[in-house]
Structure 1
Amino acid sequence: FDNDKVVGDVIVRLANDAEKLTLLDGNEVSLQSNTLVIADSDKALAMAGIFGGLESGVTAETKDIFLESAFFDPDLIMGKARQYGLHTDASHRYERGVDPQLQKVAMERASSLLLEIVGGEAGPIVEAVAESHVPLSRSVTLRHSRLTKVLGIEIASDKVTDIIERLGFGVSFDSQAWQVSVPPYRFDISIEEDLIEEVARVYGYNSIPHIAPVASLQMSKHQEQKVQLSELKSSLVESDYQEAITYSFIDPKVQSALYPDVQGLALPHPISSEMSTMRVSLWTGLLQAVSYNQKRQQPRVRLFESGLRFIPDTTEKTGVKQELVISGVVAGPVTDESWDNTTKAVDFYDVKADVENLLDTAGVTDFRFELCAHSALHPGQSAAIFVEESLVGYLGAVHPQFEKLLGLHGRTFVFELETVALGLKKLPVAEEISKFPANRRDIAIVVDNDKVVGDILNCIEKSSANQLVGLNLFDVYTGSGIAEGKKSLAISLTLQDKTRTLEENDIQAAVDDILAVLSDKFEASLRD
């Protein structure tokens, strides 16, 4: 600086907001309050560690020179030059850190050169230090095992020691580790990996051989029979459902209406009164999602969700039992409106087919649907789902009395399955394919209207011979020619043997046996 242009003492401070400073290149900048400046008692002289000021700069008329040599904390200088659109040699160095012990040496050298070149006399050196901000020497430990693991090669201990010493570090080796004293000016060395990088750099990257890493692979422990939630989700997506995610806490009024016999877990600090109870079923959130979509002109809605439901249980440690379930909701037409098909509203059997497909994906073969009463479902269109003898879920139409409460338009169907209760799926077993022809026989039986078709089909499967390979109900008829309170069921039977061609008397004997069992258990008779 030109000493004659410096007023009073020289200090280092943060700039005043919008303080002006003309730089050495002639451009004026408006300083921000986060910028460190060198100033006198009157004004800012320079941007610390970045750029000097024009007004206090040395000119041809300067007689007395004021020298300043400093160390600034890199955190205070970092990014400030870019903040003003500048990039100087000073900012490049100070941002990365300079040797905090070099200032006095630099001052003495600059003074010596000035005296040698221009003459004059040197004044005293005044030193101001904030000890808390001056970086100290650091000690970093470098383990030989870690060095070998990272680089992938073994470097002799004396070679590593020599490399570290040549870098100007103090080093001692003991117990397979180097204790390295890092000089204050090496701001880039703070952890063990920094030292490993330095050793590799000096040793030579080309001296490190290219050896592909070797890793041992271990098969994950996965039980093939366990039902995967991702498989169930994929099955529903393939059935044209879309996954939804709803809140686990819902409106207690809606839940108590759907489940009057279950007291949900109340939250001590709810977001709102409409979200103050933990759900005991995923239906509540899904039905609200249906209402939301219907109010936005989306008549066809097919959603599913997987998540936890929270059932109060005093036997549990937390007082609530958490069960993972997968639930779905369907409303509107079966398919989107199109010129090549008629618009048909979804019914109970459409959703039942989706559930059957879901159970088939889970590898469940022994399941059944039983008519049941459920507080949230229509009494005539609801069923309990059993796997073997365990109740795993429910299926049915939402009770009409809740449609207004939930804001639903039209008939809405729901289902819910407890995934853990599905158990282990049965794995497919390869069997010999019969080389002999299959034979189909159709029978039409008359039974009482209250007889459940599923029970009849299950009875045929269990009581028939091994030759029965196909069973299908293809017609249900009531009306003219059928007595009051009766219904006619048309069933196809497909019979096939793996060892021989079935003769007519074999086929007729198998059909007669089936008819005898149906007559005995269901009072069924052949239709005339």
Structure 2
Amino acid sequence: MKFSENWLRQHIPTAASRDQLVATLTAIGLEVEEVTALGESLDGVVAGRIIKASPHPEADRLQICEVDAGAAGTVQIVCGAPNARAGLVAPLATVGAVLPGGMKIKPAKLRGVESFGMLCSARELGIDSDGSGLLELPADAAAGQPVVEVLGLPDASIEIKLTPNRADCFGIRGIAFDVAAATGGAVVPFEVEPVAPANDAALAIELSAGVDAPRYCGRVIQGVDAAAATPAWMAERLRRSGVRPVSLLVDVTQYVMLELGQPMHAFDRAALSGPVGVRRARAGESLKLLDGREVALDEQFLLVTDADRPVALAGIMGGFDTRVTGESRDIFLEAAHFAPAAIAGRSRRLGLHTDAAHRFERGVDPRLPREAIEYATRLIMEAAGGLPGPVVETELAEHLSAPAPILLRRARVARVLGMTIADADISRILGALGLAVETNADGWLVTPPSRRFDLAIEEDLIEEVARIHGYDAIPVQLPAGAAPLQVPSETRVGEGTARRHLASRGFLETINYAFVDSALLADWGLEKGVVPLANPLSAELGVMRTSLLPGLVAALGRNAARQQSRVRLFELGNVFARTADGFSHVPRVAAVASGTARGEQWDGDERSVGFHDLLGDLSSLAALARAELECRPAQAPWAHPGRCAEVFRVDGGQEVRIGWVAELHPRLLKALEIDTGVVVFEADLVPLLARPLPKAGNRSKYPSVRRDLAFVVPQAVSWGQLAGCVRGAAGSILRDLVLFDVYQGKGVETGCKSLAMGLILQEESRTLTDADVDAVVASVTAALQREHGATIRG
């Protein structure tokens, strides 16, 4: 935001010097990026009126001008400016004057004709970059009057860097409230007297975009002299604010926007038939903009329409066909409130950056449109005449909520800032910022003005108090007291332990964005329940991740593309999903691997990393929590058919699904442009790392007995199913169960497999007899045969 120092001082009179003002702005969070001093060395430069301009006899591009310099009389000036003409009032640097660039004005002879001074452009005076012609001063300026008086100099152009939450400071009035609070001054009241209608000319307004456009004001002004010159004082303020004057009607809308913060637009009334409306664009619609570009639109854009015909891109830019020109006589002036969500990102999609969009994206005071219309009407009538009709205002009251009061507690202020600020100072600061303040027993009940979108909670008000009171006034001190130590839970393996364990197994930790491209999730088939972001950093980071794997595999792919043949990565983080109750976030751990199972070495043959390698890594992680895992065949859209398993944690007969282990589908690898096999696992952290509390127990002094049994079972029966059945049949006498052999081949019928297991039996109170052991073996054999069709292998 760039503005004129004198313009700001008009709204907030202050005795502070320029340096003090600049320091104050930066100290309260409105960081000053650049200050350009204007008109500080213009002694001897006066307003000169050209009485006569005649061609130079020896140069086609030069003119000999007789210039009235007031008390100094008439002087002869040789000038080459294309706009030098009789009657023009322009800056005249008299002999002896020194211009800002260091040029000293002396009598000179140009092509044989004497010249006693120089007629100047804005660039030569150091107040603008325009050097195309003489700076045209107001026609009523007195000859010989110092140019600093005519142009309201000296002045400075100040540019500040605004954070996105301070949309209210995109207008001079918003900045003035901050300066008033910081300097102890008071903002000059700004009341626009409504302009009485001179006729009943009007256009009806229809709003069809709901919350996106809840307020729209318009006014027809007839008989305007659109070719009238922009007043010099207005043109100068625009120049010093970084806006080049174009024409009166355009300049007035720009001027109101800079002063109040409300973007506006003027249409040629002759090009409109009415009614004027606001609606969403339709697929396939297009619009020719003011800059001549034809843009294709979709339902994401908001349009201003005339009898349903698009005439402007709402909140961004007007249309070419309804623009005002020098021949326009009747105009339709509009000011509206558009919701930030309806404008954000739309201009960037079209490669545009407009002042209006910049403001609407961050939030414009919804109460400003009528005030802006009245103010602009008065400015236009003063410079170009015209007969105004009534202001037509249409609003959707249900979408225009008033700011809610916020409770600010003095105890909370002291706790957050670490210091006590007097109640009177807090009340003064909040009041000077334009906030409505009511004192109560605990502190204050504060209602923000409608322009302060950034004030919603108590901490926002504390920040306002801190920045105005002064960050340098906050004491630097160490916190008192001892910080309580948090004892690690015995019922959970720490995440740090899990990280170190995976690192010890050769994995490198990565940290990826929690938001990803929705198209990437669609490639994985993981878009179900996705949570979109309201204001994403970019289109490629538009939704919250539903799995850790897409980000991890993308990181693996980038490494593989850079000639890393063996990559092993892991990540601990949250995944997000939409639920019936709102949103959920679940902590998970995931790992991916490609390349060889072991690093390069001389011993043994190389083999590619496989399913069971990753399952072993996950099992070793579960072992930290003394957990046993069981796998069951599964299918997933991103997994290789037949090489994907769901993983369950099995504790005492209870099982909890914690995740999956799989090899990625070749189709997905091709879409991700990865030309090597990739194996992955992902698991929920909470059930994986839950650790049972150790309990002391008696150790039996009696010997254990082991019986090895081999059963032939159908291929589809898993070891986990058999193990559960064995434990249930054997009862408490079973101390441990181990699988020591899996066989398929000769001697085992097709479609079956042989599983050899060891049953370790023990009692605490006595030595087991052969009869006890035989009874357990018989019970296990009968249960396996009954439930799974198992037979003892011969």
Counterpart AA for 2:645: A
Partner of 2:641: 379
TM-score (norm 1): 0.54
Partners in 1 of 2:761 and 2:553 — Cα distance? 45
| Mapped contact 1:263–1:312 kept (Cα < 8 A) | yes
Residue 169 of structure 1: aligned partner: none
1:61-140 equivalent positions in 2, closer than 5 A: none
> CA offset at residue 271 of structure 1?
4.2
Give 1:266 shift.
Answer: 3.5
Aligned to 2:308: none
Q: CA deviation at 1:256?
A: 0.7
Name the CA shift for 1:482/1:265 in 2 (closer, same or farther; >3 Å). Answer: same
Question: Could you say if the C-alpha distance between residues 300 and 462 of structure 1 is closer, same or farther in structure 2, counting changes exceeding 3 Å?
Answer: farther
Distance 2:579 2:734 in 1: 46
Matches within 5 A, 1:105-254: 220=486, 222-254=488-520
1:356 corresponds, among 599, 619, 628, to 619
In the TM superposition, residue 518 of structure 1 has moved relative to its aligned partner by 0.8
Counterpart CA distance in 1 for 2:497 and 2:707 is 37
Residue 637 of structure 2 aligns with an amino acid whose one-letter code is: S
Does residue 526 of structure 2 align to residue 256 of structure 1? no
Cα deviation, residue 478, structure 1: 1.7
Once the 2 structures are TM-superposed, how far is the Cα of residue 445 of structure 1 from its aligned partner?
0.8
Post-superposition offset of 1:275: 3.0
Residues 475-519 of structure 1 show CA distances to partners (whole Å, capped at 9, x for unaligned) of 222222112222111112222333444333333332222111111
SS at match of 1:375: coil
Give, as a single letter, the amino acid of the residue that structure 1 aligns with 2:747. Answer: G
SS in 1 for 2:732: coil
Residue of 581, 591, 594 corresponding to 1:331: 594
Alpha carbons of 1:370 and 1:192: their partners in 2 closer, same or farther (altered >3 Å)?
A: closer
The letter for the 1-side match of 2:604 is: N
The residue type equivalent to 1:496 in the other structure is Q
What SS does the corresponding residue of 1:464 show, helix, strand or coil?
Answer: helix
- The residue type paired with residue 337 of structure 1 is E
Choose from 663, 670, 675 the match for 1:404: 670
The more displaced of 288-297 and 424-433 is 424-433
Distance in 1 of aligned mates of 2:514 and 2:621: 24
Between stretches 455-464 and 368-377, larger displacement belongs to 368-377
Specify every segment of 5 or more residues in structure 2 that has no aligned partner in the other structure, as ranges: 1-472
Give 2:641's aligned amino acid.
P
Distance between the aligned counterparts of 1:496 and 1:251, measured in 2?
A: 57
CA contact 1:474–1:491 (8 Å) conserved in 2: yes
Shift of 1:310: 2.0
* Equivalent in 479, 482, 487 of residue 748 of structure 2: 482
Q: Percent identity?
A: 32
What CA distance in whole angstroms lies between the structure 1 residues aligned with 2:776 and 2:491?
35
Q: Compared with structure 1, are the counterparts of its residues 313 and 362 closer, same or farther at alpha carbon in structure 2 (3 Å cutoff)? A: same
1:298 paired residue among 561, 564, 573: 564
Corresponding residue of 1:452: 718
Q: 1: distance between equivalents of 2:474 and 2:561?
A: 60
Match of 1:438 in 2: 704
Shift of 1:221: 5.5
Q: Is it true that 1:419 corresponds to 2:419 in the alignment?
A: no
Deviation sequence 1:112-169 (CA, Å, 0-9, x none) = xxxxxxxxxxxxxxxxxxxxxxxxxxxxxxxxxxxxxxxxxxxxxxxxxxxxxxxxxx
Residues 29-78 of structure 1 deviation map (CA, whole Å, 9 limit, x = unaligned): xxxxxxxxxxxxxxxxxxxxxxxxxxxxxxxxxxxxxxxxxxxxxxxxxx
Taking the aligned partners of 2:770 and 2:514, their CA distance within structure 1 comes to 61
User: Match for residue 576 of structure 2?
Assistant: 310
Superposed CA RMSD: 2.9
Deviation, 1:242, is 1.6
The yes-or-no answer on 1:395 pairing with 2:395 is: no
TM-score, length-normalised on structure 2?
A: 0.37
Superposition deviation, residue 403 in structure 1: 0.8
**Contact between 1:324 and 1:420, CA under 8 Å: does it hold in 2?**
yes
CA deviation after TM superposition for structure 1 residue 249, in Å: 2.3
In the alignment, residue 402 of structure 1 is paired with which amino acid?
A: L
2:328 counterpart residue number: none
Distance 1:293 1:192 in 2: 48
How many matched pairs? 316
- Give me the whole-angstrom Cα distance separating, in 1, the residues matched to 2:777 and 2:763: 15
Listed one character per residue, the Cα deviations across residues 343-384 of structure 1 (whole Å, up to 9, x for unaligned) are 22222222122222222323545x543322222222312222
Q: What is the match of residue 343 of structure 1?
A: 606
CA contact (8 A) 1:256 1:263 kept: no
1:249-308 superposed Cα distances (whole Å, 9 cap, x missing partner): 223222111125515333455444433332111101100111122222222222110112
User: 2:550 aligns to what SS in structure 1?
Assistant: helix
Matched residues in 2 for 1:339 and 1:300: separation?
Answer: 16
Question: After superposition, what is the alpha-carbon deviation per residue over 1:388-424, rounded to whole angstroms, capped at 9, x for unaligned?
Answer: 4543322211122101112223321212222234584
What does residue range 12-27 of structure 1 map to in structure 2 within 5 Å?
A: none
Shift in CA distance, 191/477, structure 1 to aligned 2, threshold 3 Å: closer
Structure 2: distance between partners of 1:480 and 1:462? 31
Secondary structure in structure 2 of the residue aligned to 1:291: helix
Structure 2 distance, partners of 1:513, 1:191, is: 77
1:453 aligned partner, one-letter code = W
- Counterparts of 2:475 and 2:516 in 1: how far apart (Å)? 52
Which of 300, 322, 329 is the equivalent residue of 2:585? 322
Matched, 1:286 2:546: no
Query: Given the superposition, is the C-alpha separation of residues 270 and 217 from structure 1 closer, same or farther in structure 2, using an over 3 Å criterion?
Result: closer
In structure 2, the residue matched to 1:370 is 632
**8 Å Cα contact 2:647/2:661 also seen in 1:** yes
1:428-459 deviation per Cα after TM superposition (whole angstroms, max 9, x unaligned):
22333333433332211111112122100121
The correspondence for 1:503, drawn from 769, 783, 789, is 769
Displacement after TM superposition at 1:227 (Å):
4.2
Q: Quick check: which has more Rg, 1 or 2?
A: 1
CA distance in 2, matches of 1:501, 1:442: 19
In the aligned structure 1, how far is the partner of 2:593 from the partner of 2:730? 37
CA contact (8 A) 1:254 1:405 kept: no
